A = this chain, B = another copy of it.
Amino acid sequence: MPPTSTPESIHIGADDLPFVEIGDGSLLKVLQVKKGEGLWIIENVFQAGYEVDKHRHTGPVFGYTTSGAWKYKEYDYVNRAGSFLYEPAGSIHTLQCVEDDTRVWFQMYGANINLDADGNIASVVDGTSALEYYLALCKEKGYGEPNVLVE
């Protein structure tokens, strides 16, 4: 039973997809979404002071930082160029950007369950909703329909 199909590896260059602004000069790009798997891979450029609501992950997350500095309020360590971060399913944290032009890839499985100050669920974000948000902003900005890897 030799395999006869050889699927292609797919490359997305640094400038192949546009960034959209998500507030105060911080940026978002969605690279890949496997809807049925709950997988979403994004790249962010954050500016100092940008915050992402406290959230809990329902699957594992892997963060690859390439410039700048950011941290979680709940931890002391700071992610800088070359940092790798592993966030197991169930982990909870609040992202804060420390330096301008902080660049990070996040490979995420499952949803972000956003929590309010009392720990109640405020909202849920996942790959499908992030993709729709990204595509809507791209359309609004006149960027057309970017070639995100979607299945």
Contact = CB atoms under 8 A, between A and B. Distances in A.
A62 interface: yes
Copies of this protein chain in the complex: 4
A110 B35 contact: no
Q: How large is the interface on A (under 10, 10 to 19, 20 to 34, 35 or more residues)?
A: 35 or more
Interface of A: 1-15, 31-32, 34-38, 41, 43, 56, 58-60, 62, 64, 66, 72, 75, 77, 79-93, 105, 107, 109-111, 113, 121, 123-130, 132-133, 149, 151
Given A11-B85, A75-B11, A83-B11, A110 B36 contact: no
A127 B107 CA distance: 19
Contact of A124 (B64, B113, B126): B113
